[in-house]
Structure 1
């Protein structure tokens, strides 16, 4: 094992590492080890997260004087992993993961670790040789705490981006990756400051919280630990989001977890009022699962405006119901939420009457092909229901970017693609009062909004002045792969039926 540097001021070559260089190291290891071919990139990335946590925790425990930090993992955990091998390594790591994954109210310093290691398991025992090499060759010789925070955080985020296909395959929870540049634009549109408290009720890998934190930090001053919080029902996403947020924001490993494993739709108080300081949220950014064929169990939600809604519609009403007055929100919704009847229509009508739904951003096509849906972002501010029954929405602006074709692989979004939207959304910093109509940006007046709310459909499938773009169904290769994936799922389902008949 490499000797620890005693002088905290002596910084080694790690101080000059870059995100791209770190990513290349990790990719090279994964791609050049034949025995790892049975593992997914997602499983490999999870283990990078575990090892980073344990190694950084060990390094911080070696510091002296004012820099000293008691370890979160049991003493000598890292040296024991370095010296172990084969079945011994598998057993040692299994026991360590189980211990750190327990929720222990008597030891709040392990709260973050309990989210990261919950239900975690090491690679199969027959792959321990390569895990041992990963520990001894790629982690132990270096002092990772010397790596610039932005570079290490960016490297881990890029490694997660490499897992996009594995994440999209998690159809049971409807996961997919939201383009980081789009979330950066949304954080700027919401005009976040260090005084805000931002939540994401379907946090995924935590990209929204990172974008929010960066925008708040851009104003100068300290962004405290209560500033961002997220929740997700998928334990694997919670692990990745936890490490992603820790590495990109500099939050303490022994502090309050930035992410909870929870079903946000299960209770109205989850996340909206921060659990560690009872501070109400001021902003919500949320891209919920686009699973229109799944109805969430909302029997405990007597506060909901409509029951039996689709998953994305339920997230929309959850945030609109639970956010405090004056809170701002940006919520992704598929096209269907804008025009479907029944529960969706009730939610739209009530949303217009209870909130100031001031902007609808119709996103470029091709961004979320695997969901089978075109996507939008609804921006609204929680308001008061007017005594005369008129909508709380005074005017609704629609910005149409549908003719800009992008995918998450061949032609990814950039922040520059939305420069015109930001200028239109907050012209010259004047706020909405200075908005001007254009081919892409259309104003629907108070009378228009009242007519929409009073209509039977309450449809928000609204257009700008831009000529309708031809339907874009995406890259043919992506369509073909999606068909293959679904045919495979169908074949496996029919095989189960056949086996049961035998």
Structure 2
């Protein structure tokens, strides 16, 4: 009988492939086929995900002995795609996508496939010759299960990053890519261990969960399949996130889906129970859409502290309310949520009272390419209002990285850029008591917090000691694009008003 060691030793040349080499192979195929000009990089990446799933599923079904695994797709699916062409290939792939994309409670082994293939659109019928070449030349001749998991996962992550422009164009759902190195830093700051259960309520392409999983794996030993879970309202993001997490974590294709398509704001049901059965979340990392003009469905949210809030503010109160006591959170927020009046102020006041909001990280201006927005990360621990009425927040530390002036393209972030922040944050050590103020790191003590709470606006637009930077350092193209975006948002808002009048 074959052993795992035998399988590793018998790996072919694919076992030596690198992430960059795999990514370049896919990128070269896309860019050197003139007939694919009508296909977006995002659509091409989706089909890479489909083919990888089907090919790996086929290879695992061909194993012998204890390593054999019944296929998720119907038997013979991959060979039939290899042999088909033209209309036959289009028909075969369309039928396969439709079958795998249907939820099937009677077959829980297909749960992940139903997320990956849900509402999937097949390759354009007039470009099936290129799809045939992609299958026959780039996938079928190779044993993809021999490729090292970390290399294959990183290659797929690089392919997603190459879709930056296409993802940024999905403005209706407020999608953009969070720099992976920043999420790695956040995972370290939260001191995530294999005992944690990490949730992302607006998971995007799954980078936050991958960073959390890697931090868990760094402790050694096996990481439980239920350790990470996420949801997103965008079916395309759910698809990419599912494959991204599968490839980067080694999660089994027949497992419980790591990603669900869901509107996280739609119900007051405990957040984590919607993602993983009866497993309590201990950590949340979330970068919600920074959309101020999106109306979330909050009709059933009588638990909310405030109604008619912006989308990011709604995510903030949703997480603070639904997380179990003691859970640790890192939530990205635009500047406006820190100082706007009305519902935002109500949410901030309740947050300070019911959670220990201990750290505010002010991120570099323009870090999210093409948004021009100023963003932050709020670190807090879910708590309760104290019996004597005192707020759960005793002191709040502000770390200001605004003057770093990074973007995700021309001057991307690295972990080293936040080494000083991690050292100041002191994850897993003596906590706030061991922190020291510096030019970037300022402490707001109990009296300061009380003053903030008693002020009319409860503003958290707090500074460190460094001089506030000016926007003239921001790329002019980002400023111009931001203006265009805001004009578009304003136009859509006025159209709603006009429609209601007529």
Q: Check the 8 A contact 1:264/1:270 in 2, yes or no.
A: no
Do 2:338 and 2:348's aligned partners in 1 also have CA atoms closer than 8 Å? yes
- Native 8 Å contact 1:285 1:331 kept in 2: yes
> Counterpart of 2:408?
408
Find the counterpart in structure 2 of residue 29 from structure 1.
29
- Structure 1 residue 368 displacement after superposition: 1.9
Unaligned residue ranges in structure 2 (runs of 5+): 1-5, 495-502
Q: Once the 2 structures are TM-superposed, how far is the Cα of residue 270 of structure 1 from its aligned partner?
A: 5.5
Instruction: Tell me what 1:319 maps to.
Output: 319
Q: Quickly say closer, same or farther: Cα 1:8–1:359, change in 2 above 3 A.
A: closer
Q: Distance in 2 between matches of 1:487 and 1:346?
A: 28
Are 1:377 and 2:377 matched, yes or no?
yes
C-alpha distance in 2, partners of 1:490/1:346? Answer: 25
Q: Residue 38 of structure 1 corresponds to which residue in structure 2? A: 38
Cα distance change on mapping 1:485 and 1:400 into 2, 3 Å: closer
How far has the Cα of 1:222 moved from its partner? Answer: 1.1
Shift of 1:491: 11
TM-score by length of 2: 0.94
Structure 2 contact 372–474 (Cα < 8 Å) conserved: no
Which residue of structure 2 aligns with residue 114 of structure 1?
A: 114
- Give the match's secondary structure for 1:130: helix
Distance 1:244 1:468, change over 3 A: same
Inter-partner Cα distance in structure 2 for 1:134 and 1:364: 41
- 1:469-489 Cα offsets, whole Å, 9 max, x none, are 122462223445566788899
State the secondary structure of the residue aligned to 2:397.
Answer: strand
**1: distance between equivalents of 2:167 and 2:275?**
29
Note the C-alpha offset of 1:198: 0.3
Query: Residues of 2 paired with 1:491 and 1:121: CA distance?
Result: 31
RMSD, aligned CA: 2.1
> Which residue of the partner structure matches residue 247 of structure 1?
247
Contact kept, 8 Å, 1:366 with 1:472, in 2: the verdict is: no
Whole-angstrom distance in 2 between the partners of 1:197 and 1:491: 42
Instruction: Output one character per residue of 1:265-286: Cα deviation in whole Å (capped at 9) or x when no partner.
Output: 0012264236543011000000
Aligned to 2:475: 475
What does residue range 197-212 of structure 1 map to in structure 2 within 5 Å? 197-212=197-212
Distance 1:268 1:438 in 2: 40
Shift of 1:179: 0.2
1:238 corresponds to which residue? 238
User: Which stretch has the larger CA shift, 15-24 or 479-488?
Assistant: 479-488
1:126 aligns with 2:126: yes
TM-score (norm 1): 0.94
The equivalent residue for 1:144 is 144
Answer with 216-225 or 384-393: which moved more: 384-393
CA distance in 1, matches of 2:493, 2:426: 50
Q: Which residue of 1 aligns with 2:499?
A: none
Which residue in 2 is equivalent to 1:309? 309
- Could you tell me which residue of structure 2 aligns to residue 66 of structure 1? 66
1:313, 1:344 within 8 Å by CA — same for their partners in 2? yes
1:32-51 Cα deviation digits (max 9, x unpaired): 00110001100000000000
